[in-house]
Amino acid sequence: MTIKHIEHLIIGFGKAGKTLAQALAKTGKSVILVEQSATMYGGTCINIGCIPSKKLAFLAYGHDVQPSLAQAVSKKNDLIDKLDHANFEKVDSLDNAEVITGKASFIDNKTVQVVTDTDTLTITADYIYINTGAYNWQPPIDGLKDSKFAYDSTRIMQLTDLPKQLVIIGGGYIGLEFAFIFAGFGSEVTILETGDTFLPREDEDITKTLLAIMAKQHITVKTNQQIKKISDSGQQATITTADSELHADAILVATGRRANTEGLNLEKAGIELTDKGYIAVNEKLQTNVPNIYAMGDVAGSPQFTYISLDDYRVVKSQVLGDGSYTTKDRTFPYAVFVNPPLANVGMTAKMAKDKGYDIKTATLDAATIPKANILEQADGLLKAVVDAKTDKILGVQLLCAESHELINFMDLAIRQGLTYQQVRDHIFTHPSMSEALNDLFAAIN
């Protein structure tokens, strides 16, 4: 058994963890970063999340010469291997920093045991940071666990034989992105949503436009689907719902993610959890144990890589700064990488009305945008929501080409309190997708 003492111990190689490790080491602090899997250096985003899925999306419908699914998976794996190695070196090559590959568990609030392939280490630390992410959760559907045709979002990205029929359980954003990826490669895709509304967070006109786009790309959505059982028969699975049967060559289970805390023995450190199983933190991302912080998905933060990065900024402010930067009043845009992408910031019209705002709205058909036609991506709808009393922008929904880039400008406009007239009259380059914002805000009424 090896015993070590360190100033800062980080558990989990996610975006927040690796960035904090680098910042601490570069300021002369001693730090150990523990990652339980040699295939997860860099965290979820690089290995099994954003980067591989977006690479597959690009190859599915962003490429002039489309590769086969097997070729696309190979290209994706090459990219991940490169990034995985680079992320390990970014931390382990630093003076004062060390990466240890092993399974961590708490002994007490300042002591962690790490079991590696060759040793069992006992590490004491002044400060400990938990950044272990989340895992794919599967509902207790009869036959699901034993079906050889069932995949989660991690495993389906290694599938090299294109399923002719893909059924996706779950109508959220993860399932939606994979629906477009596999439809892009040629699969017939059916999404089963248990609720009575598809994408309830979005305004109805945006959802209606997206559903029309999905229909053109051979993606069907069925709502109010109560799944009774799944059974394998030959080379297909049968999904039995309350009112029908579907057959699939593959099933993607996209029913959400849960905090990855199993085996950490958090109770030995006295760390409290929320009702939903996340590590409970305050606006400083500090747990109820003062020397222990949690960051990213495991802390219940919105499950985006850029939020994990912002969590790093919060914790850095606490341990290396003046503590003024917190999660209080944090706002951010998000994008769903469908085809074309859907991006959103601020409030939808429904949200604004529910909060008592008197609003003005405008929509713009993407087909009217010159750049969209140049790109041959003219499907979509843009929508803006404005406070009728102050003319300030409350929210924007963009279902159009390059919306994942445009939304960052709109987030900044909202943060800076710009009026819709200021965006309407802003001078944008031409031809560009951003100039469509002139026309969108000119249509406010």
| Cβ neighbours, 10 Å, residue 282 | 12
How far is residue 119's CA from residue 204's CA, in Å, rounded to a whole number? 56
Give me 338's structure tokens. 């469908």
How far is residue 440's CA from residue 445's CA, in Å, rounded to a whole number? 11
* Token pair 């803006």: residue: 384
Q: Where are the beta strands (DSSP E) in 234-308?
A: 236-241, 245-248, 250-253, 257-259, 292-294
Q: What are the two backbone dihedrals, phi and then psi, of residue 419, each rounded to the nearest 5 degrees?
A: -85, 160
Examine residue 302 and say whether the peptide bond preceding it is cis (omega within 30 degrees of 0): no
Q: What are the two backbone dihedrals, phi and then psi, of residue 218, each rounded to the nearest 5 degrees?
A: 65, 40
Catalytic residue among 8, 85, 218, 430: 430
**Bridge partners for 164 per DSSP:** none
Give me 416's structure tokens. 């800076």
How far is residue 371's CA from residue 382's CA, in Å, rounded to a whole number? 14
| Cβ neighbours, 10 Å, residue 80 | 19
The secondary structure of residue 62, as a DSSP letter, is S
The secondary structure of residue 430, as a DSSP letter, is S
> Is residue 430 among the annotated active site residues?
yes
Q: Looking only at Cα atoms, what is the longest distance across the chain?
A: 71
| Cβ neighbours, 10 Å, residue 299 | 24
Q: What are the two backbone dihedrals, phi and then psi, of residue 357, each rounded to the nearest 5 degrees?
A: -75, 145
Q: Where are the beta strands (DSSP E) in 12-141?
A: 31-35, 97-101, 103-108, 111-115, 120-130, 134-136
For residue 12, which amino acid is it?
Answer: G
How far is residue 259's CA from residue 295's CA, in Å, rounded to a whole number? 11
Question: Among candidates 363, 377, 357, 379, which has minimal Cα distance to 437?
Answer: 363
Residues annotated as catalytic are: 430
